[in-house]
Amino acid sequence: MSIQRFSLSVEEMILSLSVMGRQETAAGLLGMTIGPLSDEELEVRMLTAGHSLAAREWLQVLENGQTHTLDPDLQEAIRPIADAEHSIRLSKWENGQELTLGLHVAQGTLTTHEIRQGVIHRVQRLENLDDVVETVESFLSIQYEAAESQEPLLWNRFADSVAERENGLDLHPTLLDSGLPEEISDMIARDLQQTEGFWSILRIEYTEDNRDPYSTGGILLLPGSAHTWMISEVEGSHGEQAKLRPCSRDELKRELQNLL
């Protein structure tokens, strides 16, 4: 797997963005994660972050203490986070907490960005689609039933099934009316009851004026006892119908290629 990894504190991430000239992104990250600071407090934190980056030879610091240049590999890995043309957002649930990972695309560069414990920023630069597939497989712990794709099954009353699961209701009557084979319905009912929620892979785009994110499509994943299910909405059904199939590596790769 061709990958470059960097692990930065939130202060190091803010300073790196500032050195790159992405002050607006840096200010947004500062406000979101640390909150208001006095000028003196901010200066101390940035000075400490600069020393830490310099110690790892990721930042050159002039003799007068002014920052100079960021390591080219680190800069290239961070750039898509601030300048993303579009992104892929991965989401899963563990112990009642939603965990996310963003894959950002800018001028052909692919970078994953994961925030851990609110303060550690893990940045990884990917080289190709196979790297993306491996990253998704690892983050979402995908289990495959088979290597080859299978024809999808039509899942009627999908939105009703989701609502009943969220409300703690018995899923069996709706699933039996879903058009799915009875054996598959029983498996889905069991898997829906045992999981904390659907996982998702969404394509995110940004408005031109203030870069507000919005989703333009994607797929849902249901972690099952035997394998991971892949679910995609039937276009124009407004969530009432979905296509269901066991997740295969071929199908996942094809979906990711379409989203990228």
Amino acid making up residue 14: I
Q: What is the mean pLDDT of the chain?
A: 86
The per-residue pLDDT for range 19-41, each reduced to its tens digit, is 999 888 888 888 777 877 788 88
Q: What percent of the chain has pLDDT over 90?
A: 38
69-85 mean pLDDT: 92
**Partners of residue 60 on adjacent β-strands:** 69
For residue 2, pLDDT beyond 60: no
Per the model's pLDDT, the better-predicted residue between 135 and 108 turns out to be: 135
197-204 mean pLDDT: 92
For residue 7, pLDDT beyond 90: yes
The per-residue pLDDT for range 127-149, each reduced to its tens digit, is 999 999 999 999 998 988 755 55
- Contact assessment for residue 49 and residue 29, using Cβ atoms and an 8 Å cutoff: no
pLDDT at 181: 85
For residue 150, pLDDT beyond 70: no
Q: Place 102 in a pLDDT band, splitting at 50, 70 and 90.
A: very high
Q: Place 205 in a pLDDT band, splitting at 50, 70 and 90.
A: very high
The per-residue pLDDT for range 48-67, each reduced to its tens digit, is 998 899 999 999 877 666 66
pLDDT at 65: 60
Q: Place 179 in a pLDDT band, splitting at 50, 70 and 90.
A: confident
pLDDT at 209: 78
Helix/strand/coil (H, E, C) string of the chain? CCEEEEEEEHHHHHHHHHHCCCHHHHHHHHHHHCCCCCHHHHHHHHHHHHHHHHHCCCEEECCCCCEEEECHHHHHHHHHHHHCCEEEEEEEEECCEEEEEEEEEECCEEEEEEEECCCEEEEEEECCHHHHHHHHHHHHCCCCCCCCCCCCEEEECHHHHHHHHHCCCCCHHHHHCCCCCHHHHHHHHHHHHHCCCCEEEEEEEECCCCCCEEEEEEEEEEECCCCEEEEEECCCCCCCEEEEEECCHHHHHHHHHHHC
